Each structure stands twice: as C-alpha cells, then as structure tokens.
Amino acid sequence: MSISPLSPLNGMDLSAGLSAGDNFKVAWQSPSNIALVKYWGKKDGQLPASPSLSMTLEKAITQTRVDVIFGEAEKGLVSLNGSIDHPFLPKMQHLLDWMTRQIPCLSKVTLRATTENSFPHSTGIASSASGISAFALCLISIAGKIHGLEGDPADMMRMASFAARMGSGSACRSLYPGFSTWGATPLFTGSSDVYATPIAEFVHPEMLLLRDAILVVSASPKSLPSTRGHQSMNGHPFFSGRIMQANRNMEETFAALSANDFEKLGMVAENEALALHALIMSASPGTMLLKPASVEVIHRVRDARSSGLSLFFTLDAGANVHVMYQAGLAVAVEKFIGEALQPLCENGRVIFDSCGTGPRKLNEATAGS
Ligand code: PMV
C-alpha cells in the first residue's frame, strides 16, 4: 500500500496541553479552475474514472479564515460565517470528518470558519473548487501548527490536493498555478489518482497568459448536482468510449499546451465541453443544462472564429459559457464579447478572468475580519 501524503501529520500531537490562550487563526485564498479535459465519472474512493486537466483561474477565488479554539466542549466545525446551517457547511464538514480520520488532532479543536468569494452570489459560478481547496489548505496549516511542523510548500500543496479531492474532485486541481492534471496518466511522471500534479513547467509560457471570459447566461444554481452527474456515468452506454476519448484528449491538450498551439487547444476543449453535455443529456435520466442563450453563444463564437477571430468556448456542468482567448487578442475579443455575447447574458454579466497564480496564504490577523 502506498504511503499517504498526510503521514507527516500523524506524528506527535502537541495539542494535549493547549488551552484558550493558545488559540490561533489560519487563512488562505484559493482559486477556482476550468477543466479543458473534464473529470466526469468516478471510481470508489473518490478517484477519477479518467484523467482531467484544468487551468487555474486568477480572479474567481475564495478567501477562508479558520479560528482554532482550544478548550471548548463542542468540537469540530461549528459555524461558517457565523451560521450553523450555511449551505456550504456540509461539504466542508464532510472534508473535515475525512481529514480527522487521517489526522486525529483535528478532533480536539473547535473551528469557526469565515469565507468569502470574489465572484458575486447568484452568478451560477460553482464555488466548490475554490472553497474546498481553501478549506483544505487551512486544515493542513492547522494540523501543521499543532504538530509544530513547518513543512515544505510543495509537500503542503500535495497534502492539500490529496485532501481537497475528498470534498470536491475538481478542487484538488486548484492548488497549483497555471495548469494541473488529476488522474494517473502515462503522459506525466508522478501523475496520480489521489492528488493533482502541477504541469506549468511543461506548458509554453504564452499559454500561461490565456484569458477566460465567463459568460453568465444563467445565474440560477445548476439543476444537476455533480455527485449525481458522476454517478450517472455508472452503467452509462457511452462509458468506455468516454474513457478512451478523455485519454486521447489529454494527449492532444498536453501537446497543444507545450507547443503553444491555440487552435488545437480550442478544438479539443470544445470537443470536451460538448462531450460532457452529450453524456449528461444521454444519461438515464438525461438532463439538459444548456439554455437557449448558451447555444446561441456557442454558435456566435464559432461564427466569429470562421470570420478569423481566434477564440474558443468551453463549458462546465451548467449553462454558463467560458470563452478563452490569447492575451495579445484581448482588445479585439473583448470588443466582440461586449457587442455580440454580453447581451445574451443575465443582467449583461461577464466575469473577465485569466490563467492564475495559485493559492496564497493570507495574513490570519486581518483576513475575513
Ligand atoms: O468536482 P466536482 O465533483 O464538482 O465535479 C466537477 C465536474 C466538472 O466541473 C464538470 C468537470 C471538471 O473536471 O471540473
């Protein structure tokens, strides 16, 4: 059996003698990510059925602060933003329960978390990748402090990625700048099903400047929770074809990223986006997540490309459309978005984001206060 990345945190637990005077805070900021090769379907143990590859975003982030309190009777995560029934609390609780089984010292403290997303509420933008990765980083920091361990930053990100996948699979890819993969693949030495791997070093520097405009076609929460979506792949008639397609698209995407081949990257990303929605529509029961405006955006993006504008689209499991383009063409593409796509968005909402720099530790004294 392989060694858990969390094993350094299973050593001597110094929490026994700690009391109220030793209370401390930790705070992290972590980004969301957009998959170019999609994770859809899983194996037991929260492992992906096929490898995925994503770009970390820069502006779509969550900032989370956790107050760690010793000596209170009630242990565990007792509140989020002061509420005991915040809608995101069960996901965080699930992650904490799993982490506590790996790192028992977490059962001895009381945690109060405060969290804030950079993207406005009601935009239909999922916050689980950023929120869960930020919370995983906080928990690793807490365990490290309790054990008196500084830890190497790369090891720490790997631990957080290993843990974050238990809260939300895609969250495990948010721990790294640029691009990262999750799922064992012969393409990358060190790739794994149990944590994501950064690949920025294999990516052409121009690709690290990519832009992503998120077109908020619908601000309503998506009607297909991702847990149910992943489950719908069990027994799906296209399952084996999907696994082959994802592996082939990983190869193509990696080749495009390293060669700075934007056109090829777009071809594969659009194939992945439409494949994801085809799988969702052809599951039993099938679901239609695209809105008429999503389809219209896709047609307009393709028409603009036929007329010579270099851009492509991708989709998450929802109605909103991500439009990706190169930094050098930002003025022309953003003019097109403003004129042709923004009017199709709910309240004209577009979030202009870009390839990001990864998580950041915050000053715990000021974050979220
Ligand atoms: O991380 P989850 O369980 O919310 O699943 C994410 C699935 C997609 O966003 C549709 C694809 C992906 O790889 O991010």
Q: Are residues 134 and 241 in the same domain?
A: no
Is the confidence at residue 13, as pLDDT, over 70?
no
Sign of CA dihedral 86, 56, 161, 70: negative
**Per-residue pLDDT at 127:** 82
- What b/e readout covers 299-317, taking b as 16+ CB neighbours within 10 angstroms? ebbeebbeeebbbbbbbbb
Q: Are residues 168 and 234 in the same domain?
A: no
Distance from residue 339's CA to the centre of ligand 1 (Å): 30
Which residues form the domain of 226? 206-354
178 in a domain, yes or no? yes
Q: Are residues 83 and 159 in the same domain?
A: yes
4 in a domain, yes or no? no
250 in a domain, yes or no? yes
Is the confidence at residue 1, as pLDDT, over 50?
no
Which mutation among 33, 37, 39, 242 tests ligand 1's pocket best, with the greatest number of atoms within 8 A of CB?
39
10 in a domain, yes or no? no
Sign of CA dihedral 249, 254, 256, 262: positive
> What are the residues facing 180 on neighbouring strands?
54, 198
| Placement of tokens 């029961």 in the chain | 285
Q: Are residues 52 and 197 in the same domain?
A: yes
Q: Are residues 103 and 138 in the same domain?
A: yes
Percent of the chain at pLDDT > 70 equals 95
245 in a domain, yes or no? yes
Distance from residue 100's CA to the centre of ligand 1 (Å): 24
**Per-residue pLDDT at 365:** 66
Is the confidence at residue 303, as pLDDT, over 50?
yes
**Which CATH number fits the domain that encloses residue 252?**
3.30.70.890
For residues 213 and 276, the answer to whether their CB atoms sit within 8 Å is no
Percent of the chain at pLDDT > 90 equals 80
**Per-residue pLDDT at 349:** 95
Q: Are residues 124 and 250 in the same domain?
A: no
Encode pLDDT of 191-212 as tens digits: 999 999 999 889 999 999 999 9
1 in a domain, yes or no? no
Sign of CA dihedral 185, 314, 351, 121: negative
Q: Are residues 122 and 261 in the same domain?
A: no
Q: Are residues 139 and 283 in the same domain?
A: no
235-244, 299-308, 356-365, range with the lowest pLDDT: 356-365
pLDDT category, 181, cuts 50, 70, 90? very high
> Using CA atoms, how far apart are residues 258 and 200, in angstroms rounded to an integer?
9
> Using CA atoms, how far apart are residues 137 and 117, in angstroms rounded to an integer?
16
pTM for the model stands at: 0.95
Q: Are residues 329 and 340 in the same domain?
A: yes
Which mutation among 30, 38, 125, 315 tests ligand 1's pocket best, with the greatest number of atoms within 8 A of CB?
38
**Which CATH number fits the domain that encloses residue 154?**
3.30.230.10
Q: Are residues 290 and 321 in the same domain?
A: yes
Q: Are residues 210 and 190 in the same domain?
A: no
Token code pair at residue 261: 């081949």
Q: Which atom of ligand 1 is nearest to the CA of 38?
A: 13
Ligand 1 site, residue 325, Cβ cutoff 6 A: no
| Placement of tokens 């199709």 in the chain | 344
Q: Are residues 279 and 152 in the same domain?
A: no
Mean pLDDT of 86-99: 93
> Using CA atoms, how far apart are residues 11 and 6, in angstroms rounded to an integer?
10
Ligand 1 site, residue 52, Cβ cutoff 6 A: yes
Mean pLDDT of 229-246: 97
Per-residue DSSP letters for 128-196? HHHHHHHHHHHHHHHHHHHTT----HHHHHHHHHHHHHHH-GGGGGTTSSSEEEES--TTSTT--SSSE
For residues 62 and 91, the answer to whether their CB atoms sit within 8 Å is no
43 in a domain, yes or no? yes
**Total count of domains within the chain:** 2
pLDDT category, 366, cuts 50, 70, 90? low
260 in a domain, yes or no? yes
Q: Which atom of ligand 1 is nearest to the CA of 129?
A: 1
